[in-house]
Chains A and B, each alone.
Chain A
Amino acid sequence: MNRAVRLPHTDRFFEARFESIGGLGAHAAGQVLATAAVLNLGLNGAHFSSYGSEKKGSLVRSFVRLGPGEQPIRTSTPVEAPDAVIVFHAVLLGNPGTFAGMRKDGVFIYNAQAGTIPAELAALPKTVRVVRVDALGIAVEENSRPNAVLLGTLCSQFPFLDAEVILAALCAEFAGKHPEAVAHNERAFRRGATEFEAIENVGRAEGDLPIAKPEPEWGYETQPAGGLLPAPGNMAWNDLSASRTGWLPVLHGDKCIHCGVCDLVCPDMCLVWGDGKEGGKFERELMGVDYRYCKGCLRCIESCPTGALTKDAETPGLADRLRVRLFPELIS
């Protein structure tokens, strides 16, 4: 393929950072983008993702670095000062690292339904172009994945990322193993490229945002020797709500016989039990779900003999309204 490509900057690489959660396809998105840029647009490029554990639901960052074809890429370090940030899940807006290093002339794309503008976006530079797209909604409608939609939106924002070339790479990625997915992904991609909303006047910050230098909580002067961790169960501070992908279990107390079956299959130990009401029928009662920990696997629903748990679509605020706390004195 013979084409001349216009990169936005002459003096540095173009760098993109995908902020995501395992299972949403950020790694694949970065890979498709960089592969197409290198093999079909004649650019030089690098792509990699940050891995902790590779479980579904854990935080994933994917990085793409692109430069002119003749320029070597040497550094293998993560993208600190991105030209583009693509946020796969709105909960990640609550994480300051999501914005870190954002360039003042960059593009910030996030996945969310239309509606109120998240307050966190005020942290962005004034001059950044902010773009919202309902990637999950489109993906569900098109039987595709959010990454296809977000790639479409990204290409629409940077003319040098030739949408047809990137789309061809996306299709090629699936052509082998899932030929049936190609048409779905194409529609999702094209809708992502057009059905976005540019949000005006949200950023408040001046200039580039500072790059993040995350520090560990403990250091060599404070950390117990030998890696000892004298804090039993402190993972309970983690918030896993972001692992849910649109559904949550809802308890209907009237139907519950408090049998305890669901408790044995919940992998996340987030069903909240208490002693039954004085003089009541039950010695122990299921009071509800602590959605802070619920990953929405729905195994509890499958196990329930009475239909007391139902699968409900997670609308904004629903989990907060229904949540019953497991550790009310400790963890809000």
Chain B
Amino acid sequence: MATEILSAPTKTEEAPTQGQARQKLEFRIGNEAAALAACDVGYHVMGYFPITPSTEVAENLSKMQAEGKHDIVLVAGDGEHGAAGICYGAALGGGRVLNATSSQGVLYALEQLPVQAGTRVPMVLNIAARAVSGPLDIRGDHSDIYYTLNTGWIILCARDPQAVYDMNFAAVKIGEHADVCLPVIVVYDGFFTSHQKRRIQVFDDPEALRGFLGTRPDLPTPLDTEHPATFGAYMNDPDLINNKVQLSQAMQAARRVIPEVFAELEALTGRSYPVMDAYRMEDAEEAVVLLNSAAETAKEAADELRAKGRKVGVLSPNVLRPFPAEEFREQLRGVKAVTIGDRADSYGAGGGNLSLEVRAAIQEDPANDTRVISRIYGLGGKDFYAADALAFFDLAGQVAASGKVAEPFAYHGATPGKPGRGARPGLPPIRAEEVSQPMAHVKRNVSTGRLDVELEPLWKMTAVPKRVSPGHGACPGCGAFPTLHQVYNALQGDVVVLFQTGCAMVVTTGYPNTAHRINYIHNLFQNGAATLSGLVEMYHERMRRGEVPESKDITFVMISGDGGMDIGMGPAIGAAIRNHRMMILEYDNQGYMNTGAQLSYSTPLGHRTATSEVGKKLPGKRYHHKDTAQIFAACHLPYVFTASEGYPEDLMRKVAKAQFYAKNEGLVYGKILSYCPLNWKVADDAGQPVLQAAIDSCFFPLYEIEHGHTTLTYDPDASDRRHPVSDWLGLMGKTKHLLKPDNAEIVAGIQAETDRRWARIKALHEHPLL
């Protein structure tokens, strides 16, 4: 090994602080930095909805809350639109408010963002930037953040975890400044920053921090009943334009306020954030412009080129709104050529938003003669290496030398592909006759008008070709797949499925591979039911017009997780009310498992999830599980059922009925309890006993509602198998804390709610009309 050197030791206690505030060293990822800052700010309320890669902000706050480190009220929205609404309402209430989201979450919240800016209600939104769908991509780029450029929010860019921490304080103060009074976004790169541990300095000085933050200034609030006011009056021309002048003036004021606040913060921390981060730009003739983490990589490349004598530098704005146009003009005046990289395209515009705005800024400067090269890079999380930055400098170098821009706009780092290569071939399609043998025989019972089902023996079902191939990436023991397998066994003929976002979707399709052997659609889990209902209507209309042969006989099935029935509840209810001929099957694993097990509304009381942590101050989830089956029952559907993969025959009988109703009468909804060994924290092979215990405790009653008539299909009372819920709760890691004496009240609460709901279902079962 080469020469060894001595590294200067840094003592934890003596962190290199040049600021006035006491600080300490931590090693944190960007999301933790945001959560620590939130804890230090001591927000009143956080409204959020989980989405990768920003979820950990709420998760960390839940953990810290369980340990008693703060008392921010964490409210899980029904989706990001709901979360944004929660935040808006809370912010109107006069306290400090926080949110964190990414990607589709930003887009789903987007509708609320201009509302909040236009009505001038400050709060802070952290965005861990990620590619927007479709196709769905969970990794980092800037396509989400670019959608927020026109919302009237201030946008601060945090290039590393330290900046995430620092800017979260600046954001509070900038937004609340009397001359600004706007909500503020802090954006950092998904994964590159959100998930990378770095050394950071954090405040160890509550006093200094309080001095900096002060209290939220008094703004008009509907909680002030002595001064009645109308918040959000409807406003047309000629008034609206004047409201926007004010908003634009607030942005102008922010140009002054932001550097002031940054300077104040610097006095405390010793860390400075100029509006424009200009690296080695003093005499630069060639430059690259990049946002956030990629700019840091480019600095390494700049050092390398500087060492070789090239006059290069890197520009990277710390503030995106208001746009630092003047700073760009200043910095680029002496630059011959600049490559501007955008981590998202403005399709058809000849450049991403950053590049277009820099071009617009410098054309106002008569002294500017900089040539501009626009490049789209790093989409969907594609890494940006120093070699990529060198390529950007080379482009600028060539243009500086020739004075000509050969290719003003292009994508950098895409792959053309080679002929003859591609996805691995699929399995042979399943022929119609292979799935035409019924495994369940459905007959209408003339006396009751309801359906009777007779199942073929289980061994016979092994001949049904599997509509999902093996090779998918679910965890060992995952219950979503036995559920799917049992559902498919009972379905006869052609099936078209739509999966909403969730574990079953993610693990069955990873481009260029799919486990689906039949036609499959994914749409995001807030809108699958609407999408499938559109397809169903097109199918029937095209059949009516003779464009689809009458001999076709497709069954339409939507597969959703329980989370999809939170965020997607509105469209699902809409489809139910419209009574389309389709079915919605929900595999209920009691949480948002795909994103790492956050609470869903179907998570039972007291259960531990990543956003309902357990500690001395928090005993798991605070409210009871959602009774989704009864919500759909209230839509008066032809058929609603509950089932579990732990009771395959019961499940398959119900699915056979569901197919009959979905083809002949209208919408069917089924809620299917499915095992999740990873997040229930149980052994992979314990699905059966755990599901059995949930059902025997009457926590999850198995029943069906046919044309409004409720029938229990399994009655633990009658078979003398009924157990207290504690017998079930004791089986799972996620609930074992509940059996401690301290939590007896919670278990009693679960038992009481279980008994109450069970008694109701039983009464419905017994009543001839219900």
Query: What are 16 of the A-B contact pairs (CB < 8 Å)?
Result: A6-B4, A45-B197, A46-B196, A68-B8, A74-B296, A75-B386, A219-B416, A221-B417, A227-B135, A233-B516, A238-B472, A260-B457, A260-B462, A264-B482, A267-B482, A283-B459
Quick one: CB contact mask for B368-397 with A, threshold 8 Å, 1 for yes? 000000000000000111100000000000
B9 touches A235 (CB 8 A): no
Asked if A76 CB lies within 8 Å of chain B CBs, one says yes
Which B residues are CB-close (under 8 A) to A185?
none
Shortest distance between the CB of B385 and any CB in chain A (Å): 5
B27 CB contact (under 8 Å) in A45, A57, A299? A45
Residue ranges of A at the interface with B (Cβ–Cβ < 8 Å): 1-11, 23, 31, 34-35, 38-40, 42-49, 51-58, 68-70, 73-78, 80, 105, 215-223, 227, 229-238, 240, 243-244, 258-261, 263-271, 273, 282-284, 286, 290, 292-293, 295-299, 301-303, 326-327, 330
Contact of A299 with B684 at beta-carbon distance under 8 Å, contacts A53-B510, A290-B470 already known? yes
From B3, B424, B486, A10 is in contact (CB under 8 Å) with B3
Q: Which residues of A contact B645 (CB under 8 A)?
A: 265
B interface secondary structure, majority: loop
Chain A residues within 8 Å of B419, by CB: 222
Range for the number of chain B residues in contact with chain A: 35 or more
The distance from the CB of B686 to the nearest CB of chain A, in whole angstroms, is: 7
Are A267's CB and B8's CB within 8 A?
A: no
**Cβ contact within 8 Å between A233 and B476:** no
Contact with A along B1-23 (1 / 0, CB 8 A): 11111111111100000000000
* CB pair B7 A42 closer than 8 Å: yes
A223 in contact with B417 given A6-B6, A259-B459, A283-B459 (CB within 8 Å):
yes
User: What are the 8 tightest A-B residue pairs by CB atom distance, in nearest-first order?
Assistant: A219-B417, A233-B469, A222-B417, A260-B458, A297-B477, A235-B471, A238-B471, A293-B470
> What chain B residues lie within 8 Å of A237 (beta carbons)?
424, 471, 513
A302 near B8 with CB under 8 A, answer no
Query: Shortest distance in angstroms between B475's beta carbon and chain A's nearest beta carbon?
Result: 4
- Encode contact with A along B448-460: 1 for CB under 8 Å, 0 otherwise: 0000000001111
In the assembled complex, which residues on chain B have CB atoms less than 8 Å from the CB atom of A40? 12
Chain A positions within 8 Å of B503 at CB level: 55
B174-201: CB near A (< 8 Å → 1, else 0) gives 0000000000000001011101111100
* Contact (Cβ within 8 A) A56 B427: no
Contacts of A240 in B (CB 8 A): 470-471, 473
Let me know if A220 and B474 touch, CB within 8 A.
no
Q: Are B460 and A35 in contact, CB atoms less than 8 angstroms apart?
A: no
Contact of A220 among B189, B197, B385, B416 (CB under 8 A): B416
Supposing A8-B2, A57-B476, A233-B427 touch, asked if A284 and B463 sit within 8 A by C-beta, the answer is yes
B94 at the interface (CB under 8 A from A): no
Of the candidates B5, B25, B425, B469, the one whose C-beta lies within 8 Å of that of A68 is: B5
In the complex, are the beta carbons of A77 and B5 less than 8 A apart? no
Does A70 lie within 8 Å of B8, measured CB to CB? yes
**Chain B residues, CB < 8 A from A43:** 7
Does B426 lie within 8 Å of A234, measured CB to CB?
yes
B513 x A265 contact (CB < 8 A): no
Pick the residue among B384, B461, B513 that contacts A77 (CB under 8 A). Answer: B384
Tell me, yes or no, whether B134 is within 8 Å of chain A by CB: yes
Contacts of B686 in A (CB 8 A): 302
Q: Which residues between 77 and 100 of chain B lie within 8 Å of chain A, taking CB atoms?
A: none
Q: How far is the CA of A286 from the CA of B459 in the complex (A)?
A: 9
Name the residue on A nearest B469 (C-beta): A233
Whether B469 lies near A47 (C-beta < 8 A) is no
Interface residues of B in 114-144 (CB under 8 A from A): 134-135, 138
Contact status of A232 and B459, CB under 8 A, knowing A76-B192, A265-B482, A302-B686: no
Q: A55-B473, A297-B476, A297-B477 are in contact. Are A69 and B457 (CB under 8 A)?
A: no
Nearest B-chain residue to A264, judged by Cβ: B648
CA distance A105 to B4 in the complex (A): 14
Bound state CA distance, A55 and B515, in angstroms? 16
Q: Is the CB of B459 within 8 A of A260?
A: yes
Interface string of B283-318 (1 = CB under 8 A from A): 000000000010011011000000000000000000
B478 within 8 A of A: yes
